[in-house]
Amino acid sequence: MTEPTDTDKLGVPTPPEYTNNQAPSQADKGSGAIESKAKGEPGAPGWERATLEKLAFASLHEQRLARRWRTFVRLAWLVFLVALAWFGFDQSNTSKSVTTPHTAVVEIKGEIASGNEASAELILSSVRAAFEDAGAQAVVLLINSPGGSPVQAGIVNDEIRRLKALHHKPVYAVVEESCASAAYYIAVSADKIYVDKASIVGSIGVLMDGFGFTGLMDKLGIERRLMTAGENKGFLDPFSPQTERQREYAQAMLNQIHQQFIAAVKIGRGSRLKEDSDTFSGLFWSGQQAIELGLADQLGSVDYVAREVVKAEEIIDYTRRDNVAERLVKRFGAALGLVVVQATQSSAVLR
């Protein structure tokens, strides 16, 4: 006989507990498998769900990147077209001459070098526009530069002298903080040079700088392996020794460029220059000293020159700079390249 079992409130008999020697039933085995799946034990099919989730998230990420890329491209093209329209409008305005009497100003700021704002190309483009304007009574070079390329300075000096003779307009240089080396090379093309008493003026010289590491390499046991076709092809290499012949050659070249600079100064300053042993030595002086040495003419600012010398107080700036449209176009190109790189990297990570 079997002992009666307890029943629950619904009248369903409660199964007896298993004894120690009883094997689990088929139902128990099934529940154990379910628990194993839930826990993600090895052998359970739970990894399939995780893999599908990863694939789904990766697909969503790619779709999101694609939407962002399409949106960026559309906005970028819109900005680009607006910039082009703005650039065209700005150019049409700046191309018009100012016919009323005024003083034309061209700024020369920063290092004088190709590709900079103070390059021969941009300076001369501005200067030509100033000379060609019938209302410009004179051209003022507003200079604040430590110098730069003698090639760029020589091009500007020669062209300004040609334009003066062609248009018969006076040119004045006004120095702010500094007018040294290549900047002074340009300044001497002016009819007069005005300075502040504390301006830095001069540095009439030429240099070629570099480093030599041959002694350090010998101490560290480093061997330089440089192959050239031509005996002197690598004579400016900082890791190779420099021969006396090479040094003399470089010095002769510097001396020749220095003489070109000196000749330009003498032509520009003429009898006003009080030459001594230091004049062309590369030294620089304050504005007050420069006047005493004949390197400059007198104290004065751009407003003073316009009002008292040119007699045309209205000042018009002819300096050619990157306008807003040009800056937007350049930034557009840089931003587009950056986004392409980021998109490529993201795709590589997803794959």
- Residue 278 — φ and ψ, nearest 5°? -95, -10
CA-only gyration radius of the chain, Å: 40
Q: Bridge-partner residues for 194, per DSSP?
A: 174, 298
CA 178 to each of CA 20, 53, 83, 139, 147: distance values in angstroms, whole numbers, following the listed order: 102, 67, 36, 19, 9
Place of tokens 């100003």: 105
User: Average pLDDT over the chain, rounded to whole?
Assistant: 80
pLDDT at 163 over 90: yes
Assign 3-state DSSP to the chain and report helix, strand, coil percentages, each to 5. 50, 15, 35
Contact 95, 306 (CB under 8 A): no
Instruction: Give per-residue pLDDT as tens, 294-342.
Output: 999 999 999 999 999 999 999 999 999 865 555 455 555 555 555 555 5
> Is the sign of the CA dihedral 199, 202, 206, 207 positive or negative?
negative
Paired sense of beta strands 102-109 and 298-299, if any: unpaired
Measured at the CA of 41, the angle between CA 36 and CA 46, to 5 degrees, comes to: 85
- Rounded distance between C-alpha atoms, residue 259 and residue 206, angstroms: 10
38-42, 144-148, 242-246, 302-306: least confidently modelled range: 38-42
Centroid of chain to Cα 183: 21
- Rounded distance between C-alpha atoms, residue 284 and residue 274, angstroms: 14
Q: Which pTM was predicted?
A: 0.65
Find the mean pLDDT for residues 199-228. Answer: 81
Confidence at residue 97, expressed as pLDDT on a 0 to 100 scale:
53
Q: At what angle do helices 150-167 and 244-269 cross, to 10 degrees?
A: 20
Confidence at residue 266, expressed as pLDDT on a 0 to 100 scale:
97
- Rounded distance between C-alpha atoms, residue 223 and residue 146, angstroms: 38
Confidence at residue 96, expressed as pLDDT on a 0 to 100 scale:
44
pLDDT at 122 over 70: yes
User: pLDDT grade, residue 133 (50/70/90)?
Assistant: very high
Per-residue tokens: 343: 């998109």
Q: Where is mean pLDDT largest: 21-35, 83-97, 203-217, 278-292?
A: 278-292
